[in-house]
Chain A
Amino acid sequence: MNESVSLIFDSVLQMLGGIGMTFQLMFVSGILGLLLAIILLLMRISGKWYLNWPAQAYIYVFRGTPILVQIFIIYYGLPQFEFIRDSIFWPILREGYGCAIVGLILNSGAYVSEILRGGVIGVNPGLGEAGSALGLSARQRFIHITAPIAARLALPAYSNEIISLMKSTALASTITVMDMTGIARTIVAETYAPYEIFISLAIIYMILTFFIQKSFGRIENFLGRYTKQLEI
């Protein structure tokens, strides 16, 4: 019993060494994925078919295939082509870390863009009409009326998406990235104690999930502070 306690203690310390990597994967791909999602959203609501169709096709493909397959295509697949090995992106795509981030960005961009679109659809059309009656241009209406309300409406779904992004970072361990899961798998291969190590790691991930949920709950309360008063 004592042995497994000290094993858990040692391995938790080792695994926490990878938490920086997990956070990096999560933040970089979260922020760039959000940017990609906004671009896709603008393409979809632009009303121009040559922008709308490619965005829809992109979202369909990236939501219809497993993220593990996407990561494998990027990591194992792309080096098949000479021109990719010669391009300026090669330093990124050569490393498992770069490929994991690119895969997570491309994947979460597709999901988040659908979430944002849900928010935009949820905005009361009367508000936009009021804006145009006041003489605001389409662009002004989007920035000052639609976007702030849509962001608030999309937030609960967005927080779920960030949690699943955090869980997806564990897949980076399949392409040699030493995040928390990667370290855990190495320890299990050495010690052959899957219960102790994987369960402690699961608890670490659950704590992270809990904190993400709490922080988004706070942001939701903050953004919803005007709507609260209406309910009374």
Chain B
Amino acid sequence: MEALNGWWDDYFWGSVVVFKIFITSLILMVIFGLIGAMAKLSNNRIAQKLAAAYTVIFRGTPEILVILLLYFGSAITLTAIAQIFNPDIKFLDIPPFWAGTFAISVIVGSYATETFRGAFLGVDPGSVEAARALGLSNFKTFIYVRIPEMWRIALPPFGNHMLSLIKDTALISIIGLNETLYVAKQATSVTSKPFTMYIVVGCIYLAFSTAITLTVMGLEKYANHHLEDA
């Protein structure tokens, strides 16, 4: 264990990076999921087709491939554009943080699309009719009736999506982001205690997923608490 001395702060800052990615990609994932679900449920043929293609593509491709493609693809495009203005630029990339965050939220968003779609379909049509009868606008019905009711249905699978997100953050170390796995790699090259170093990473992720699981359990209790008295 003494091999770990001097590395704790690196692991701490690595965990902070993991947490930042998680929060950012969580927000993006919800946005992608909602857009996808709305497109699938809309009457617009083109939107339906696009959303279907979105889910098929990102559910059928390995996560690591999407991350590599987005990072190296964007780097090559950016470099080409930058060279038009300044031929001296040799290499320009999107920071791995943003390339990776975007990649994992697009991937998990494709799973969330299906979850949200199912949950919207699970909203009692009577509630929507009641909102209409009360004269609520479409937008208000969406915010005050559909969302609160669908979110209760979507919560358990949504918890699983959050767990996938936190676990996918580990993949971003492949494109050189300095999160915990990257710290372990550096620490190994100095101390030659790889097992100790990687086990710490495992424990950090286990702590993250435990925290998420407990949060989701709490949220489920909160979302259903008005049903318990009945």
Residues of A within 8 A of B (CB): 61, 63-70, 72-73, 76-81, 163, 167-171, 173-174, 181, 184-185, 188, 192, 194-195, 198-199, 201-202, 205-206, 208-210
B interface majority secondary structure? helix
Question: Please, which residues of chain B bring their CB within 8 A of the CB of A181?
Answer: 62, 64-65
Question: Known contacts A61-B206, A78-B195: does B68 contact A185 (CB below 8 Å)?
Answer: yes
How far does the Cβ of B57 sit from chain A's closest Cβ, in whole Å? Answer: 7
Check B76 against A80 for contact (C-beta < 8 Å): no
With a cutoff of 8 Å between Cβ atoms, the chain B residues found around residue A174 in the complex are 64, 174
Give the Cβ gap from B72 to chain A, nearest Cβ, in Å. 4
List 16 additional contacts besides A64-B205, A174-B174, A205-B65; criterion CB under 8 Å. Answer: A61-B206, A64-B209, A64-B210, A65-B167, A65-B206, A66-B168, A69-B198, A77-B195, A77-B199, A78-B195, A80-B192, A80-B193, A163-B59, A167-B61, A185-B68, A198-B68
Interface of A is mostly: helix
A-B contacts, 29 of them at CB < 8 A, read: A63-B163, A66-B169, A66-B205, A69-B201, A69-B205, A70-B202, A72-B181, A73-B199, A77-B194, A77-B199, A79-B194, A80-B196, A167-B61, A168-B62, A170-B62, A174-B64, A181-B64, A185-B68, A192-B76, A194-B68, A194-B72, A198-B65, A198-B69, A198-B72, A198-B73, A205-B62, A206-B56, A206-B61, A209-B59
Which residue of A has the minimal Cβ distance to B71?
A194
**Total residue contacts A-B, CB cutoff 8 A:** 114
Contacts of B181 in A (CB 8 A): 68-69, 72
- B interface size (C-beta, 8 A): 40
Nearest CB of B to A69, in Å? 5
Q: Which of B73, B163, B198 contacts A72 (CB 8 A)?
A: B198
* Residue B63 at the chain A interface, CB threshold 8 Å: yes
Within 8 A of A (CB), among B144-173: 163, 167-171, 173
